[in-house]
């Protein structure tokens, strides 16, 4: 393709390629007259209209806008970019934000553009690029003492460190964000809730369930989030209480999540929440019925072509079978999960743990120890501190049963020392 197309040219090209008339394209979206004006570049569609047109043409929004010359006024381009960010169309928003950053003949604050640009990088997993932009912003904030912007930068840096499994560094940055936001005259409750949620996630990752629960509950008191986000938080609380064997509280939050689940329109999210609810309610339900419900959800995932999610469910079914001493079934479902998951998937750690129990029960200590060692490696790789602590204790109990008491003791001490050293290396005391 020679040169860049205008948006109107691209819409027309894709419409003709699909064999659709302007009237058919406009149906339920806008007037045929507006489609005509868009194609002749005499009108600019809103973000909502743009998404609807892309859906009708059966192309991703990113493809619709690829190599398109969006010769918009700066304010219009910024509004379009922000609409894309809110809709989580980060890849599509980035070229618009980049173009605005390259041109300074507008009144949009560069700092606002940079923080949004960094957030897009984070969402897309470009952590080094995000860190570079955020460090530049940090220098600007220190010079101008913009407390709210500094709080946003520190929270984003904390998110980057969290995604890199650098928990002490993330905790340091997140704490700085909290300190800075307290200096802002007009406190933003939703932003405070975001910080508390990050604190909660951090403590959960570090295996500090009680502290995580406190932060999640504080965030819920502040946050006016939508049903989806609140439902996810209810699920996290239910799972944390379940892990602490506080079943009454776990059931309470599971039921709250169920109410919100029934209001969800997104099928994938429905499946995910149904899966987690079954796991949380399995203690008070017929376990065989729980397995049947999970198999039904796994079947839906497989029909959608999502083998990884189906594998995740098979791993949980294996765990339920193990809990009820159905070892042959536990082994069979664990093997199904292993076939569906990659060797580095964090869920595969759970699978290895189930298999280790099965082989130890059948007195095959060689295979049992091998799977337990693999579980430890996976949980270490993904920074799953709570799970890592559990499998490490299981390994110590195994060594103790073998009569290798000193080796078991040394392993437990080494695990605790390694954890402390990891934190001390960052100069942070938790």
Of 130, 189, 186, 136, the closest CA to residue 156 belongs to 130
Contact present, 387 and 379 (Cβ < 8 Å): yes
> Per residue of the chain (430 residues), what is the pLDDT tens digit?
345 778 888 899 999 998 989 999 999 888 888 898 888 887 778 778 888 898 899 888 878 887 777 666 777 788 888 888 888 888 888 988 988 888 877 778 888 899 999 999 999 999 999 999 999 898 888 776 677 888 999 999 999 999 998 888 999 999 999 998 888 777 788 889 999 999 999 998 888 889 999 999 999 988 766 566 788 888 889 888 888 888 888 888 888 877 776 665 556 667 777 787 788 777 667 888 989 999 998 988 888 788 888 999 999 999 999 989 999 999 999 999 999 998 888 899 999 999 999 998 888 989 988 998 899 889 888 877 778 888 888 888 888 887 888 877 777 777 766 666 655 544 444 4
**DSSP character at residue 4:** P
Distance CA 193, CA 229 (A): 12
User: Cα separation of 112 and 349, whole Å?
Assistant: 41
Please name every residue paired with 69 in a beta bridge, in sequence order, or none if there are none. Answer: 6
pLDDT at 144: 64
Which residue carries 């790789």 as its tokens? Answer: 381
Pairwise CA distance, residues 220 & 307, whole Å: 33
In angstroms, rounded to a whole number, what is the distance separating the alpha carbons of residues 271 and 275?
Answer: 6
Q: Which residues contact 49 (CB under 8 A, 6 or more apart)?
A: 29, 30, 34
State the Cα–Cα distance between residues 370 and 328, nearest whole angstrom: 19
Q: Do 333 and 321 touch, CB atoms closer than 8 A?
A: yes
Query: Residue 101: CB partners within 8 Å, gap ≥ 6?
Result: 110, 113, 114, 117
SS3 for 34-99 is: HHHHHHCCCCCCCHHHHHHHHHHCCCCHHHHHCCEECCCCHHHHHHHHHHHHHCCCHHHHHHHHHH
Q: What pLDDT, on a 0 to 100 scale, did the predictor assign at position 1?
A: 39
Angle 74-86/47-56 helices, nearest 10 degrees? Answer: 60
Confidence (pLDDT) at 77: 81
Distance CA(196)–CA(369), nearest Å, equals 39
DSSP structural state of residue 235 = H
Question: 69 — phi, psi (to 5°)?
Answer: -85, 100
Q: Rounded CA gap, 127 and 120, in Å?
A: 10
Give the angle subtended at the CA of 390 by the CAs of 338 and 163, to the nearest 5°: 70
Measure CA of the first residue to CA of the last residue in the chain; give whole Å: 57
Find tokens 């209209």 and name the residue: 49
Query: Residue ranges of the domains in the chain?
Result: 225-285
Question: What DSSP assignment string belongs to 161-221?
Answer: HHHTT-HHHHHHHHHHHHHHHTT-SS--HHHHHHHHHHHHHHHHHTT-HHHHHHHHHHHHH
Per-residue pLDDT of 34-66, as tens digits, reads 898 888 887 778 778 888 898 899 888 878 887
């Amino acid at each position: 393709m020679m040169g860049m197309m205008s948006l109107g040219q691209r819409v027309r090209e894709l419409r003709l390629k699909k064999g659709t008339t302007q009237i058919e394209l406009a149906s339920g979206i806008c007037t045929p007259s507006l489609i005509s004006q868009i194609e002749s570049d005499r009108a600019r569609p809103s973000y909502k209209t743009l998404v609807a047109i892309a859906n009708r043409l059966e192309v991703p929004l990113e493809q619709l806008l690829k190599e398109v010359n969006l010769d918009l006024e700066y304010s219009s381009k910024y509004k379009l970019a922000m609409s894309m960010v809110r809709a989580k169309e980060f890849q599509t928003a980035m070229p618009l934000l980049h173009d605005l950053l390259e041109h300074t003949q507008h009144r949009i604050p560069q700092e606002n553009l940079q923080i949004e640009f960094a957030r897009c990088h984070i969402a897309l997993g470009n952590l080094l690029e995000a860190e570079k932009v955020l460090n530049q912003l940090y220098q600007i904030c220190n010079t101008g003492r913009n407390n709210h912007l500094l709080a946003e930068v520190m929270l984003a840096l904390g998110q980057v460190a969290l995604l890199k499994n650098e928990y002490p560094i993330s905790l340091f940055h997140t704490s700085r964000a909290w300190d800075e936001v307290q200096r802002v005259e007009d406190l933003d409750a939703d932003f405070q809730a975001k910080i508390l949620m990050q604190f909660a996630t951090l403590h959960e990752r570090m295996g500090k369930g009680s502290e995580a629960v406190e932060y999640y509950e504080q965030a819920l008191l502040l946050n006016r989030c939508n049903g989806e986000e609140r439902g996810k938080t209810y699920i996290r609380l239910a799972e944390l209480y379940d892990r602490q064997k506080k079943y009454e509280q776990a059931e309470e939050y599971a039921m709250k999540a169920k109410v919100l689940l029934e209001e969800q329109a997104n099928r994938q999210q429905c499946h995910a929440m149904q899966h987690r609810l079954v796991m949380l309610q399995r203690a008070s339900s017929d376990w065989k019925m729980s397995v049947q419900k999970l198999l039904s959800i796994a079947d839906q995932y497989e029909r959608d072509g999502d083998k990884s999610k189906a594998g995740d469910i098979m791993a949980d079914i294996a765990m339920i079978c193990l809990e009820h001493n159905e070892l042959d079934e536990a082994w069979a479902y664990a093997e199904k999960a292993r076939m569906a998951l990659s060797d580095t998937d964090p869920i595969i750690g759970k699978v290895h743990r189930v298999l280790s129990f099965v082989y130890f029960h059948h007195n095959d200590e060689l295979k049992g120890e091998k799977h337990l060692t693999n579980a430890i490696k996976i949980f270490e790789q993904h920074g799953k501190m709570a799970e890592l602590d559990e499998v490490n204790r299981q390994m110590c109990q195994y060594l103790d049963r073998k009569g290798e008491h000193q080796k078991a003791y040394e392993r437990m001490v080494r695990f605790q020392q390694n954890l402390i050293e990891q934190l001390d290396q960052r100069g942070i005391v938790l």
